[in-house]
A = this chain, B = another copy of it.
């Protein structure tokens, strides 16, 4: 941690800081410049982060040097993590994993029909919400356990893994019985209660980035899960909120490479939420694979006109099939498979 003093900081103020930090067990290096003095502090991270040096008299600015996350960092673990979704399916490997399905599980028949089609097209994970966090209390909120049962049935019938969102820590025991990957939605990225309890499960967790979360905050949220013992975390970039209104969100494609530098965790891109428009999903998907994403999660519905949520950004199964063919070529071009 680096403490930059004001030009007019007095010797007494400097000594006060040095004393205080010494008492906390920190080691200080003082650099006295012509215009101002700078103090470098070295010591246990926890002490550094918690001490509010900004409020000490004479201090102008405090600059942290160390990243606040540990277990999720590349420094902690050099090799990229490969996470087993099922025995025969890992994410983080050479193979880019395709997840697809409707925004919400609406009924048994529709879900099974979609599952069959996306499986045939090449997807290995079926998505579908049983508990839907909706902006309006008057919108469809999901089928609950009934929806989970349909996911399980589709999973068994078509040999496809499943991912579904959990919104309440009390639903976790129920969810783990039915699905392979527990998803944390963007709105709950900093629901620390939920994160901590997911850290105690043994299921992979897919953590979506909050709509205006920095990459650092996102990694800190992942750290909550790892710090409880669950290292099977998949990150999911799903677009951030910006001033642009042509698209529902702005896909932060840079995040793929940044996350790969900072962390060993795999990263998936959601081109459906990141664009909000069906006609933009294909180009966003190609970009994501080309940028190095380990997987994609795409909304597919066979009757978008009747979808109960997000129909406007859902591909139809044929569209998804032809997208998969395109993506295979892009994956091969960068030395991966799909």
Interface segment out of the listed A79-87, A136-144, A150-158 = A136-144
Q: Which residues on the B side are within 8 Å of A304 (C-beta)?
A: 52, 55
Cβ-based interface call for A108 (8 A)? no
How far is A251 from B265 in the complex, measured between Cα atoms in Å? 22
How far is A75 from B334 in the complex, measured between Cα atoms in Å? 36
Assess the A250–B240 pair: CB atoms within 8 A. yes
How far is A210 from B234 in the complex, measured between Cα atoms in Å? 25
Assess the B190–A133 pair: CB atoms within 8 A. yes
Cβ-based interface call for A287 (8 A)? yes
Name A329's closest neighbour in chain B (CB-CB). B333
| A274–chain B nearest beta-carbon distance, Å | 7
Within residues 250 to 292 of chain A, which ones have a CB less than 8 A from any CB in chain B? 250-258, 261-262, 274-275, 278-280, 283-284, 286-292
Name A228's closest neighbour in chain B (CB-CB). B137
**Interface mask (A53-90 → B, CB under 8 Å = 1, otherwise 0):** 01110000101011011000001000000000000000
Cβ-based interface call for A146 (8 A)? no
Cβ-based interface call for A29 (8 A)? yes
Name A326's closest neighbour in chain B (CB-CB). B334
- Which of B56, B140, B240, B332 contacts A244, CB < 8 Å? B240
How far is A221 from B215 in the complex, measured between Cα atoms in Å? 25
Cβ-based interface call for A122 (8 A)? no
Q: Which residues on the B side are within 8 Å of A224 (C-beta)?
A: 137
Q: Which residues on the B side are within 8 Å of A289 (C-beta)?
A: 290
Protomer copies: 4
Q: Which residues on the B side are within 8 Å of A61 (C-beta)?
A: 65
Interface size on A, residues (CB 8 A): 106
Q: Which residues on the B side are within 8 Å of A193 (C-beta)?
A: 167-168
- Which of B245, B258, B291 contacts A247, CB < 8 Å? B258
How far is A42 from B33 in the complex, measured between Cα atoms in Å? 6
Assess the A31–B33 pair: CB atoms within 8 A. no
Assess the B215–A212 pair: CB atoms within 8 A. no
Q: Which residues on the B side are within 8 Å of A318 (C-beta)?
A: none
Name A221's closest neighbour in chain B (CB-CB). B135
Name A186's closest neighbour in chain B (CB-CB). B190
- Which of B50, B227, B252 contacts A250, CB < 8 Å? B252
Name A292's closest neighbour in chain B (CB-CB). B283
Residue among A55, A170, A242, A304 with the highest chain B CB neighbour number at 10 A: A55
| A285–chain B nearest beta-carbon distance, Å | 9
Closest 7 CB pairs of A and B: A212-B212, A52-B311, A290-B290, A187-B190, A29-B31, A287-B287, A257-B283
